[in-house]
Structure 1
Amino acid sequence: MSFIANIKSMSYLKGHAAQIAEDLERNGKPFVITRNGEVSMVIEGIKQFQEKEALIAALRIIALGEKDRLQETGISVAESRARLLAARRRA
């Protein structure tokens, strides 16, 4: 993991929240927070969170398309292009 160097305790988080926020904004590497020696949470910056959420959404769309392809319930590229062209003409 690329963020292995950013392992901090819960007490560090409590006392250094502002510093953690600055570090996240500056370098984007998430922090692993431990409680009683066990990993408790991961803190990441909003930019990284949004990028991850966008990637997950894209992967879901790809997975749905693959499911349709395997079930042969999707539409062809030609049909898709024709629908897009028709929609653009209506707009």
Structure 2
Amino acid sequence: MKLSERIKPISYLKANAAEVIAKLAEHQQPMIITVNGEAKAVLQDIDSYEEMQEAIALMKALTLTEQQVKEGGVEPLDEAFRQVRDSYKG
């Protein structure tokens, strides 16, 4: 679906809510809702929204891991395993 087909006024949404929701699910592309000609909201199907939230969570985890590596907050794998083995010997 073209971008121009995905920009609709709020009056269209009010009059065609069921159709809009069906199109969101079918095309899995967000729809931009305008008020007085100005973009005010984005509607998105739930599957795409959940995928986006999972991607954001993964990016946050990767960023945190990268930060911990830069700060020296991680240990080499062999050292980590040695500590685990030593804790069971203990």
Q: What's the C-alpha RMSD, in Å, of the aligned pairs?
A: 2.3
Normalising by structure 2, report the TM-score.
0.81
Alignment check: 8 A CA contact 1:13 1:20 kept: yes
Q: Supply the distance in 1 between the matched residues of 2:11 and 2:65 (Cα, whole angstroms).
A: 46
Alignment check: 8 A CA contact 1:8 1:31 kept: yes
Identity of aligned residues (%): 29
Specify the code of the residue in structure 1 equivalent to 2:16. H
- 1:78 Cα deviation from its structure 2 partner: 3.7
Unmatched segments (≥5 aa) in structure 1? 87-91
- 1:29 Cα deviation from its structure 2 partner: 1.1
> How many residues in Structure 1 have an aligned counterpart in Structure 2?
83
Q: Supply the distance in 1 between the matched residues of 2:79 and 2:14 (Cα, whole angstroms).
A: 56
Larger radius of gyration: 2
Q: Which residue of 1 aligns with 2:88?
A: none
